[in-house]
Amino acid sequence: MSSSYPPPPSSTPDNAEPTVETAQQGADSGSQHAQIHPAFNADISAAAAIATAHHGLQALQAAVAVPGSVSSQSSVANQHAPVVDGSYLGGVPAVAAEVRAPPNGNPKATRLRRACDMCSQRKVKCDESQPCRPCTELGVDCTFNRTMKRRGPPNKHVEAAKAAKQPRLEPNISPGPHNAAETLISIAGSQEAQQVLDAESIAPWPVLTLLIDDFFTYIHPLTPFPHEPTFRMSFTAREDRTNRGFLALLASMIGCLVASFPRTARLHLKAQQHGMHMYPKAITLIDRCRSIALEARGPAFYSREDVNVYDAATSYFLGLAAAYTMQWKLSRRFMAESMTFIRELGYHKPRDMGSSMFGVTYRGPPFNHVEDQLGKRIFWCLFLGLRSMYQLGSHQGDIVLPPPTPSEPYPELPVEVDDQYILTHQILGQPEGVVSLLTGFNQGIKIYMTMNGIMSVEVSYGISTLPFHDQKTMLDESLQAVKQVMDGLPRELIIDLHAKSGSNQIHGVSNLLPTSHMTSVFDDANSGLHYCPLPYAALQQANPDFRHTVSAHPERRRLLQYEIQKANMYASQLATRSYYVERYLNLRDAHREHARVQAAQASFAAAAQQQQQQDNDVEDATASVGDAAAGTQSVAAAALHAAAEQTDPIDDTMTTERELIVQHLLTVLTSISQRSMEPNGASLINKIRQVASTLVNDAPERKGPVAVKAQESLSKFVEILMRLERIPPSGVSDGGVAAPGDDEEMELRNWADLREHQVRFLQGGGFVGLP
């Protein structure tokens, strides 16, 4: 076994020449180590030879930099000392000595491993601190994002080792950082990327708080979910930072609020320093909320199996916001998704109707009353939307909701109890004398449930296959049912449709005229109840904002919510009554036209037969008398048929009902104010505009005396409502791109025109003042 060391490198530094003394010292040192541990020396020699063969000069240069080597006056011995040191090969460490610099040598400047991005671009020296001095002096960010590349051809052995070490399921993992500074920067960047998506990505926290208050004040009475106490608790605990499902729900709620009631978001953003620069248009904030909701769900959302009722609520709000902004494809997509989730959770049927094979239900233990009520409310909101769209003529085939049957009934109606009395484990009773907000919600469900008979026939084989008498009987029964639904309503939800216009203190001119001497937002003396700011520039600063007094006066908030529900409820009833009446009138006219065609064909056939008899010259006096008798009988039959049509009780009922619809529509239009109509969004405007347009543009022979008198007033209302409905959601008008604020001015101007026409109609005496 040889104990000789590997030969030293042939090249030596320029300023260091080996001497006999230094060489002898190196030899003595080497022989001393050889005598101490000859076997170890042999291992060292073999390892050094292998390292030299494989690595050559690189291994020796790396060995020079290893500290703890044996001191020597010779540079040659100093280069070989780390090879002998046991710390390099894992053997017995050698005795360390103080390293002294050459007395006459100038050490080379140590080259930095990596410069920052700015210093690298400027080609200046970087001290590799964070931040470095040049970047600090320039006042720029000191970053290490530049990718470093290895010089020379790629090392095949290293690449193969990396490929073998890399997991198969994660082929796109990026390589690690090159140094400690980049490691710290990458870790901090990844943490910031995970924490950046929260509620404040939508708007500042004070604005979010006000928007949530507005949602539960204006939107929650119409879409009573989510559970308000539970949501506010999670919102205060900032679950948006830890629960992505909650963040998606929050974003969808704010998007729905802005789409339904855009002016409330504008007022809050204007109060911020740069609020309007963030979202100059309402559609910008709506799109931002949708993108955050979808990003919070993540790409793996649709592969989950544990969807919950809050996911269904999120999809519903996204669909409703898309519908209010005229994005019908997105609306149908999200609404169908919400219905799918509700069916997966089993809320589309009664709770006890599960799988009859094993006696289990779709909802496993423990039973949660909050989620059960929310699931029912979401289902019935989808039901209301589908029925309302069906009345407007939009039959959505991708969302199929068949009418209830004995084998597959609808679920129970939500319990008429406010959210604060619904707990997870039980449902408390509603306080006596306090009308729940679910009372008005269930009333709207009962209105549209009167369509079940017609929908059953339509879905099965079409109502047109029934005889005329059966069709008109079915329509008359549905009309009487929807009128009876409004019987027995609590006083808080009643609009007196039969009162004289202007005589009602609550729904008369005083409710519409702005008063500058108001001392509070809700003035019980004059029934002000104004939501500020009004579309009158002189009074916008005089009246305080109602939203700041919600927490201090909850009873005033409840009165406003009753008004919002009344507006939606009576508009839905009028739309349903008008749907039945117009459908009957169309059916009657088609039947009469068919009878006229048949009579004309019979008359033509009789005339042709008579002409043929005349051509054959077979006429005689008896035949003439018979023809005269036949003609008399046909005339009598036609007269009897016309008399029967004129004395038809169903036809009289429908004709009278149409006159009542005209009167009740004008009463409702002059009874509900902007503060009640505006939060209902496009839904209410569409219903009222559809009814008014049908009455105005109907055939003249259908119009009664009341409709003829109210023609001008109805036409004016229709014009204003169409302007409100056609406000461009993206801020693009017919003439081009609108400047910031133009859409808001247009909207306020239209609301001001509506209020002015309401006041003018009432001040003129209402129906009494009609010509």
DSSP string, 416-437: S--GGGB-SS-BPPPPTT---H
> Does residue 215 contact residue 253 with C-beta atoms inside 8 Å?
yes
The predicted pLDDT at position 212 comes to 96
Q: Rounded CA gap, 529 and 552, in Å? A: 16
Q: Rounded CA gap, 311 and 713, in Å? A: 45
Q: Rounded CA gap, 632 and 629, in Å? A: 5
Best CA proximity match to 761, nearest among 671, 698, 677: 671
Q: HSE of 337 in the Cβ direction (CA atoms, 13 Å)?
A: 21
The predicted pLDDT at position 526 comes to 38
The predicted pLDDT at position 508 comes to 42
> Does residue 308 contact residue 345 with C-beta atoms inside 8 Å?
yes
pLDDT along the chain (771 residues), means of 10: 48 44 44 44 48 45 43 42 40 41 52 77 85 88 78 72 59 48 53 69 93 95 96 96 96 95 85 78 93 95 93 98 91 95 94 52 70 97 94 76 92 96 95 95 97 91 89 95 93 82 42 37 38 39 50 82 93 94 91 86 84 68 50 52 66 90 86 78 79 77 73 72 56 41 61 65 48 41
The one-letter amino acid code at 740 reads P
Task: Tell me the two tokens of residue 73.
Answer: 């006056």
**Which residues neighbour 232 within 8 Å (Cβ) at sequence distance 6 or greater?**
212
- If one looks up domain 112-147+178-196 in CATH, what number appears? 4.10.240
Best CA proximity match to 304, nearest among 245, 350, 359, 252: 245
Phi/psi of residue 644, each to 5°? Answer: -65, -40
The predicted pLDDT at position 537 comes to 37
Cβ neighbourhood burial of 544 (10 Å; 0-12, 13-18, 19+): middle
The predicted pLDDT at position 548 comes to 55
Q: Rounded CA gap, 28 and 342, in Å? A: 89
**Secondary structure in 3-state letters for 128-164:** CCCCCHHHHHHCCCCCCCCCCCCCCCCCHHHHHHHHH
The predicted pLDDT at position 641 comes to 57
Q: Helix, strand or coil for residue 744?
A: helix
Q: Rounded CA gap, 142 and 250, in Å? A: 37
> Does residue 22 contact residue 69 with C-beta atoms inside 8 Å?
no
The predicted pLDDT at position 331 comes to 94
Using CA of residue 497, residue 502, residue 503, residue 507, what is the dihedral sign?
Answer: positive
Domain chopping of the chain, boundaries: 1-104, 112-147+178-196, 201-430, 509-563+651-763
- Whether the model clears a pTM of 0.85, i.e. scores above it, the answer is no
> Does residue 28 contact residue 70 with C-beta atoms inside 8 Å?
no
